[in-house]
């Protein structure tokens, strides 16, 4: 195996995009670059109070250009000559309206500042009403078209977002030819696609978020959509019946993009997928180990041999799809809508008075002071929380600050703190919040186990897993099982690189790429038996509190 064969893995996150050049012989990272979306960073096109989160396609295309060019500049021209393939992962479901040429409407002058013509980010919940309608509507059919997406459709997913945009913006609706996932559009862009009909649909995205199932022969029938709302008429046939796993090739880098990036048109472009699915591969997932990609949210991935899943459907998760993670195996997805986002919310809450006071007297010194406080706040909270004695009567919380993804998606739900008194301080509230996110993770594991899918261990991936021993130790204690932390901080990009190496033909299947390019694990947390006993009792309190919140909100729910 020559060490002169390289690939590029591109990982699109919520706030930024990262490109990594990887040696296909051993998985070594040769160079990388990160680009923070400037429009997103400025808060444009978003309204958190309305759960509206949109991203401009220029943030994506500019980021793609800059990160690949910077990575190549760092690596050198000789390495650039031997780059054979590029594969891309993205957040999801993050779809956009496109015209017949496959161009996102926001790239047209008349829609350049219209949020409804932009990518609807995964955590946009403006389609909660539409998701509820889809769930009610599906119950009218003899065939359960929600069976392979966990039985409950979410506002974070493809059709709820599409229907919402069509309803609220007539001009966008009039110009929409089709609706396309970010992970499908970017490979189409790199290969110079000019016809939306040629866009290759990711098996991962279509199966987990868009109601595609091979068991049904593709998407639900046209009358499923038109009887939901006539505004959806005709779109089904413009989308996809065939889907592609990520070990397959979309095409080659177009001449335009090859010149722009300084690469060859011989570079193969792989089918895209969602970040957590590639992250699970980069994190060397194995059957029945739950891979937890822990970032702003969590996405939990489990793979199982197809023969083990015959006749078995897991309700309340984000789908089970043959080949969505590893081709030839069933991929099961779950997750939490807020994880790192919950800690960021709490940090911002505590920092509000400091930021506003210092803004009245802004100097280089005060800016440096604020930056230092922001950097040290969560580590100090973690240190002090770890010193607290654990008791069954401690304050506790429910982690649904951005709704609940799994089990049983419901984005209308809200978070809460319980048991507060005048002795409650910032550290105790932080401890309760961390515990709540760990309890949310345990609830997901129980959802699998209670329906006959074993969970033999946990794999921690992502920024929180790498940077917070306090949270990871609590996770092990709450779960009462070990959690091993992958060595790479960029498992999503590395997973993309593993698929790129497979697309390039360097490895016959992605499992071979995982074995050769995997970087292994550098930490493992084991449960404390005494704390595990206390957390088991507190977990039931968490479940009861969640039931109380859900019942209370349902009393006030609009029909």
Task: For residue 474, tell me if it sits in a domain.
Answer: yes
Same domain, 271 and 414: no
pLDDT band (50, 70, 90) for residue 51:
very high
Domain count for the chain, please give it: 2
Task: For residue 134, tell me if it sits in a domain.
Answer: yes
- Domain with 551 in it: 340-486+528-555
Same domain, 513 and 458: no
Query: Alpha helix locations (H) across 94-143?
Result: 128-138
Same domain, 36 and 80: yes
277 has pLDDT over 80: yes
Please give the pLDDT value at position 109: 98
Task: For residue 332, tell me if it sits in a domain.
Answer: no
115 has pLDDT over 50: yes
Same domain, 23 and 157: yes
Proportion of the chain in helix, strand, coil states, percent, rounded to 5: 45, 20, 35
Same domain, 396 and 500: no
Residue with the larger pLDDT of the pair 88 and 216: 88
Report the interhelical angle of 426-449 vs 529-555 (nearest 10°): 90
The whole-angstrom separation of Cα 335 and Cα 325 is: 15
Place of tokens 């015959």: 310
Residues pairing with 396 in the sheet = 418
493 has pLDDT over 70: yes
User: Which stretch of DSSP H or E encloses residue 186?
Assistant: helix 182-190
The whole-angstrom separation of Cα 132 and Cα 329 is: 31
Concatenate the DSSP letters of all residues of 192-223 into one string: T---GGGPPPBHHHHHHHS--BGGGTBSPPHH
The whole-angstrom separation of Cα 416 and Cα 238 is: 43
Residue pair 341/91 in contact (Cβ under 8 Å)? The answer is: no
pLDDT digits (tens, 9 = 90+) for 389-420: 999 999 999 999 999 999 998 988 999 999 99
The whole-angstrom separation of Cα 106 and Cα 54 is: 11
Nearest to 212 by CA among 189, 185, 244, 183: 244
Same domain, 93 and 173: yes
Nearest to 475 by CA among 487, 459, 499: 459
pLDDT digits (tens, 9 = 90+) for 207-257: 999 999 998 899 999 999 999 999 999 999 999 999 999 999 999 999 999
Same domain, 231 and 93: yes
Residue pair 268/206 in contact (Cβ under 8 Å)? The answer is: no
Residue pair 90/183 in contact (Cβ under 8 Å)? The answer is: yes
Residue pair 288/305 in contact (Cβ under 8 Å)? The answer is: no
CA atoms within a 13 Å half-sphere pointing along the CA-CB vector of 166: 19
554 has pLDDT over 80: no
Pairing of strands 54-55, 249-252: unpaired
Residues 6+ apart with CB under 8 A from 404: 336, 337, 410, 411, 413, 440
Using alpha carbons, list the distances in angstroms from residue 522 to 198, 202, 293, 462, 525. Answer: 43, 32, 16, 13, 11
Please give the pLDDT value at position 559: 35
Task: For residue 300, tell me if it sits in a domain.
Answer: no
pLDDT band (50, 70, 90) for residue 462:
confident
Task: For residue 309, tell me if it sits in a domain.
Answer: no
pLDDT band (50, 70, 90) for residue 104:
very high
Residue pair 411/429 in contact (Cβ under 8 Å)? The answer is: no
pLDDT digits (tens, 9 = 90+) for 298-326: 999 999 999 999 989 999 999 999 999 99
How large is the average pLDDT for residues 158-184? 98
Neighbours of 233 (CB within 10 A): 12
**Cα 102–106–107 angle (5° rounding)?**
65
Task: For residue 159, tell me if it sits in a domain.
Answer: yes
pLDDT band (50, 70, 90) for residue 555:
low
Dihedral angle at the C-alpha atoms of 102, 275, 156, 323, nearest 10 degrees? 80
Same domain, 272 and 356: no
Q: Is 50 exposed, middle or buried (0-12, 13-18, 19+ CB in 10 A)?
A: exposed
Query: Alpha helix locations (H) across 293-425?
Result: 340-359, 364-386
Task: For residue 193, tell me if it sits in a domain.
Answer: yes
Task: For residue 310, tell me if it sits in a domain.
Answer: no
pLDDT digits (tens, 9 = 90+) for 495-524: 999 999 999 999 999 999 999 999 999 999
2 has pLDDT over 60: no
Nearest to 403 by CA among 387, 415, 395, 392: 415
Same domain, 435 and 544: yes
Say which CATH number the domain at 449 has.
3.30.420.40
What's the mean per-residue pLDDT of the chain? 95
Buried b (16+ CB within 10 A) or exposed e, 429-439: bbbbbbbbbbb
The whole-angstrom separation of Cα 205 and Cα 321 is: 10
pLDDT band (50, 70, 90) for residue 3:
low
Q: Is 375 exposed, middle or buried (0-12, 13-18, 19+ CB in 10 A)?
A: exposed
Same domain, 532 and 512: no
Same domain, 233 and 254: yes
How large is the average pLDDT for residues 89-106? 97
Same domain, 429 and 495: no
Using alpha carbons, list the distances in angstroms from residue 488 to 36, 47, 279, 521. Answer: 20, 34, 10, 8
pTM to 2 decimal places:
0.90
């Amino acid at each position: 195996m020559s060490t002169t064969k390289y690939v590029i893995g591109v990982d699109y996150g919520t706030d930024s995009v990262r490109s990594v050049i990887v040696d296909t012989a051993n998985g070594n990272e040769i160079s990388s670059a990160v680009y923070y979306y400037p429009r997103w960073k400025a808060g444009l096109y978003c309204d958190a109070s309305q759960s509206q989160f949109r991203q401009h396609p220029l943030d994506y295309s500019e980021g793609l250009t800059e990160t690949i060019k910077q990575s190549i500049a760092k690596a050198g021209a000789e390495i650039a000559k031997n780059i054979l393939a590029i594969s891309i992962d993205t957040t999801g479901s993050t779809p956009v309206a496109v015209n017949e040429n496959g161009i996102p409407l926001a790239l047209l002058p008349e829609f350049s500042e219209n949020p409804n013509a932009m990518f609807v980010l995964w955590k946009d919940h403006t389609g909660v009403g539409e998701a509820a309608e889809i769930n009610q509507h599906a119950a009218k059919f003899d065939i359960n078209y929600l069976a392979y997406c966990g039985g409950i459709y979410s506002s974070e997913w493809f059709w709820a977002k599409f229907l919402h945009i069509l309803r609220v913006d007539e001009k966008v609706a009039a110009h929409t030819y089709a609706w396309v996932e970010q992970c499908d559009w970017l490979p189409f862009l790199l290969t110079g696609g000019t016809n939306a009909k040629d866009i290759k649909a990711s098996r991962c995205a279509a199966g987990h978020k868009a109601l595609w199932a091979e068991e049904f022969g593709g998407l639900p029938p046209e009358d499923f959509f038109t009887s939901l709302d006539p505004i959806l008429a005709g779109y089904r046939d413009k989308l996809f019946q065939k889907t592609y796993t990520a070990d397959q090739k979309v095409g080659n880098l177009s001449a335009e993009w090859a010149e722009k990036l300084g690469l060859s048109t011989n570079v193969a472009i792989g089918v895209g997928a969602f970040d957590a699915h590639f992250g699970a591969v980069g994190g060397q997932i194995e059957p029945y180990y739950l891979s937890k990609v822990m970032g702003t949210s969590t996405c939990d991935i489990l793979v199982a041999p197809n023969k083990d899943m015959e006749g078995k459907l897991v309700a309340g998760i984000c789908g089970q799809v043959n080949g969505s993670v590893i081709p030839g195996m069933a991929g099961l997805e779950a997750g939490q809508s807020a994880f790192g986002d919950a800690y960021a919310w709490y940090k911002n809450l505590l920092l509000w008075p400091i930021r506003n006071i210092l803004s009245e007297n802004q100097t280089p010194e005060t800016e440096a002071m604020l930056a230092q406080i922001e950097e040290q706040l969560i580590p100090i909270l973690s240190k002090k929380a770890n010193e607290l004695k654990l008791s069954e009567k401690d304050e506790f919380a429910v982690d649904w600050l951005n709704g609940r993804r799994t089990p049983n998606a419901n984005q209308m739900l809200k978070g809460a703190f319980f048991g507060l008194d005048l002795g409650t301080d910032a550290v105790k509230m932080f401890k309760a919040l961390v515990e709540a996110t760990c309890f949310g993770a345990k609830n997901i594991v129980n959802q699998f186990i209670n329906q006959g899918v074993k969970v033999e261990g946990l794999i921690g991936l992502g920024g929180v897993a790498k940077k917070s021993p306090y949270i990871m130790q609590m996770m092990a204690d709450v779960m009462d099982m070990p959690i091993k932390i992958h060595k790479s901080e960029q498992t999503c990009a590395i997973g993309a690189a593993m698929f790129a190496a497979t697309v390039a033909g360097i490895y016959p299947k992605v499992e071979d790429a995982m074995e050769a390019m995997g970087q292994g694990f550098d930490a493992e947390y084991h449960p404390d038996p005494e704390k595990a006993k206390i957390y088991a009792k507190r977990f039931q309190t968490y479940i009861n509190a969640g039931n109380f919140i859900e019942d209370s909100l349902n009393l006030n729910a609009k029909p």
